[in-house]
Structure 1
Amino acid sequence: MGQVTLTEKIEGNVARSVNPQGLQRMMQSQIAVVREKGQYTGAKRALILGGSASYGLASRVTAAFGQGAATVSVGYARPPQDNFLGAAGWWNQVFFKQAAEAAGLVAKNFNANAFLPATKRDVIHYIQSELDGPIDLLVYSIAAPKRVNPFDPNEIWRSVIKPIGKSVTDFTVDLAHNQLLTTTTEAATPSEITATEHVMGGEDWELWVQSLQAAGVLAPNCKTLLFSYEGPAAMAPIYHDGTLGRAKRAAEASARQLQKQLVPSGGEALISVNRSVTTKASVVIPGFSRYCTALYQVEQALGTHERAIDQQDRLFRDMVYGSRREVDTLGRLRPDAMELSPAVQEQVATLLPQITPVNFTVDLPGYQQFRREFRQLSGFAVPGVTNEFDVEKFADLAF
């Protein structure tokens, strides 16, 4: 292909194009955030399930460049093929591996479906044959549209983002056209609720822990984390009280079960309730983009805004391996405490009613921040990076 000019494509709230050079620069930026804060004592060998983007990728960056850990990532993203440049998640793992190996760190990527038993077997074989010891950090950060029943391949569970009990009408941003639209989401059926629990709950997390333990590749003192979300009252009907919230409650039940298994040997199973950040998964949640527009605007004024890498480094540095744990009455880590503080939420609640389809404008500072972060997930709108791309320059990069 040689030299090409990349065109950014956004359909609704879905990015359809990538700029690999921008993604490489964003990877360098995330690493710099961690390095600036220095090394801290943590994991030696980390397995990141869902390590191709957002919270999973940020967890891998802080494990490697903050803790000095060897990292294994399972991501699932389309590689480059013919005239398709590949998905952002594929490039994220490529550029992470490049940076980690340049720093003398072990980095192994699996581009595979984490739900499949075959993937578990392949990862276990790699740990047994290539790593110098068992996994002592397991991060579960998977958001997926579907999962095949591991005990019946003919059954496929599909997750949905819907309220429970009654429909919900809210405003959501159309990132392609910079408009605020009114959307109505119908209530989930009982089968949709159950399917979402199977996909987005903790069942597969438990299967991974059991598989790793049975193979003897999980360290006795292993810490394992799954990421949850509470959000503000404004998001409760579609999230906390909806299908995703129901799935997170199931994941928390899995955490309690895993805690019983791991604690006797010195391990730990943790739920981290993370803050609202811009991810490819979160932007399709009805109402989320409008809430973030208000939240980011308030946080910009207060100087408290965090991206995924900022929060994850703080989470692992201070709470998982540090002495500044913030937990709630359920024992969950709460790095979202700043976002949900009364000081922030009172201002957000005042601003939200002012963001309507009638008066919405792209000039809102919070929306500018949100849209810029969304574009950067695909490598666009990155300072110092143009849309001119030399395909051959990146052709030899190894996955």
Structure 2
Amino acid sequence: MIIEPRVRGFICLTSHPKGCEQNVINQIEYVKSKGKIEGAKKVLVIGASTGFGLASRITSAFGSDAATIGVFFDKPSSPGRPGSPGYYNTAAFEKHAHAEGLYAKSINGDAFSNEIKTQTINLIKEDLGQIDLVIYSLASPVRTHPETGKRFKSVLKPIGEVFSNKTVDFHTGKVSEVTINPAEGDDVENTVTVMGGEDWKMWMDALKEADALSEGATTIAYSYIGPEVTKPVYRNGTIGAAKDHLEATAFTITDHLKSIGGKAYVSVNKALVTQASSAIPVIPLYISLLYKTMKEKGIHEGCIEQIQRLYSERLFDGDLALDDKGRIRIDDWEMREDVQAEVVKLWETASTENLPEIGDLEGYSNDFYNLFGFKVDGVNYDAEVDEMVEIPSEA
């Protein structure tokens, strides 16, 4: 079939297998171009199929020759219906990992569930014995609690007061004012339950209990802080409360891993176009201005550049460069004073008319379509493509 993008708001309802594969190939080639990393050799990535999780799996495998197990929740293809981009990404990753003799297996299911935790641990014990590095990169809006069966839904809201500021429709380029009402009722608690650190700790507890972690094992979860302009709706809002909980959980997990010399860290990453960030008002305009500024300064990074630098310059070179709250800061280039000062200046004048000049809305839009395998250089989108792709380890 010929697959074209069908977009509804901040979601693309279709994805392109060849485009997704080319995206994966591009990331693999970037990691290889940067040389070998003396890193972990047995890696579990929870949330492994897109964004920072996929970049972590690629960097582990093709940077450190690591055996990887990836856990994710994605839709397979069916006749006449493309699979989700994460499914195609994983199929491509495994194909190229296996071609280079690398161990790579995947588990597709609800990572919040006890069943998937047990299935993953059984696979680790059977094939790898123990894991050296656990990457936790889940980004789900809902969670069914494994103990109670109750379904929780996260919300993106400020806390305490109404938030109003500029945003942009990245499809049309129209800059407008957005107003978001504050959290109410159980909004904060529900968001923390979905996006906080409880599930990360459950994974680490289960892995340790099963003796599936090697001596000195490390685990990393990903977070975001961001600038002053997004703080009311993001870091000081409901999602920020969840990130605070996630970051505090790192210390709890480290205490629990003391007997094996293990450590848990949170890495604060850069603002990038992801399926999750596309849904957050204000963020697309901020990222558009940020991209323009960082590209002009020659310090722009995508997911793979961020994670390759995290691995090569922080995790495995002996200098984590932790901040005063014990976090790894790989958002250091984004948060540079000169970068933020420029973004603030541009923000004040940003309008529908001048955004094409002062921002990089085209870069934002291209990155959005790339997430789903579209607008990727070197792919012929006019050609028929087989939507029926299988993940090798599931075939």
TM-score where L is the length of structure 2: 0.96
Looking at structure 1, the residues matched to 109 and 176 of structure 2 have their Cα atoms a distance apart, in angstroms, of 36
Looking at structure 1, the residues matched to 332 and 229 of structure 2 have their Cα atoms a distance apart, in angstroms, of 16
Matched, 1:142 2:138: yes
Looking at structure 2, the residues matched to 245 and 365 of structure 1 have their Cα atoms a distance apart, in angstroms, of 26
Matched, 1:247 2:242: yes
Where does 1:350-361 land on structure 2 (aligned, <5 Å)?
A: 350-357=345-352, 359-361=353-355
Size of the alignment, in residue pairs?
A: 393
Q: Percent identity?
A: 34
Task: Tell me how far 1:290 sits from its aligned partner.
Answer: 0.3
**Contact 1:179/1:360 (<8 A) preserved:** no
Looking at structure 2, the residues matched to 114 and 100 of structure 1 have their Cα atoms a distance apart, in angstroms, of 23
Matched, 1:114 2:111: yes
RMSD of equivalent CA atoms: 1.5
Amino acid aligned to 2:364: F
Deviations 1:108-134 (A, max 9, x none): 111111000000011011111122x30
Residue 122 (structure 2) aligns with: 125
Amino acid aligned to 1:30: Q
Question: What runs of 5+ residues in structure 2 fail to find an aligned partner?
Answer: none
**Contact 1:18/1:87 (<8 A) preserved:** yes
Looking at structure 1, the residues matched to 75 and 391 of structure 2 have their Cα atoms a distance apart, in angstroms, of 15
Task: Tell me how far 1:263 sits from its aligned partner.
Answer: 3.4
**Contact 1:31/1:61 (<8 A) preserved:** yes
**Contact 1:172/1:182 (<8 A) preserved:** yes
Amino acid aligned to 2:362: Q
Deviations 1:49-73 (A, max 9, x none): 0001001000111111111110001
**Contact 1:7/1:17 (<8 A) preserved:** yes
Deviations 1:296-339 (A, max 9, x none): 11011100000010000100111011134322101100000111
Residue 370 (structure 2) aligns with: 376
**Contact 1:180/1:360 (<8 A) preserved:** no
**Contact 1:48/1:138 (<8 A) preserved:** yes
Matched, 1:101 2:95: no
Residue 91 (structure 1) aligns with: 88
Amino acid aligned to 1:267: G
Amino acid aligned to 1:62: T
Looking at structure 2, the residues matched to 373 and 71 of structure 1 have their Cα atoms a distance apart, in angstroms, of 26
Looking at structure 2, the residues matched to 395 and 246 of structure 1 have their Cα atoms a distance apart, in angstroms, of 39
Looking at structure 2, the residues matched to 396 and 340 of structure 1 have their Cα atoms a distance apart, in angstroms, of 41
Looking at structure 1, the residues matched to 53 and 123 of structure 2 have their Cα atoms a distance apart, in angstroms, of 20
| 1:58 alignment partner, one of 55, 58, 80 | 55
**Contact 2:162/2:179 (<8 A) preserved:** yes
TM-score where L is the length of structure 1: 0.95
Deviations 1:20-53 (A, max 9, x none): 1111111000001110011111111110000010
**Contact 2:83/2:387 (<8 A) preserved:** no
Residue 14 (structure 1) aligns with: 11
Distance 1:397 1:332, change over 3 A: closer
Where does 1:115-194 land on structure 2 (aligned, <5 Å)?
A: 115-131=112-128, 133-153=129-149, 155-194=150-189
SS at match of 2:94: helix
**Contact 1:6/1:19 (<8 A) preserved:** yes
Residue 48 (structure 1) aligns with: 45
**Contact 2:17/2:389 (<8 A) preserved:** no
Task: Tell me how far 1:397 sits from its aligned partner.
Answer: 5.6
SS at match of 1:5: coil
Where does 1:166-315 land on structure 2 (aligned, <5 Å)?
A: 166-315=161-310
**Contact 2:91/2:390 (<8 A) preserved:** no
Question: What runs of 5+ residues in structure 1 fail to find an aligned partner?
Answer: none
Task: Tell me how far 1:389 sits from its aligned partner.
Answer: 4.4
Amino acid aligned to 2:43: A
Task: Tell me how far 1:361 sits from its aligned partner.
Answer: 4.6
Task: Tell me how far 1:174 sits from its aligned partner.
Answer: 2.0
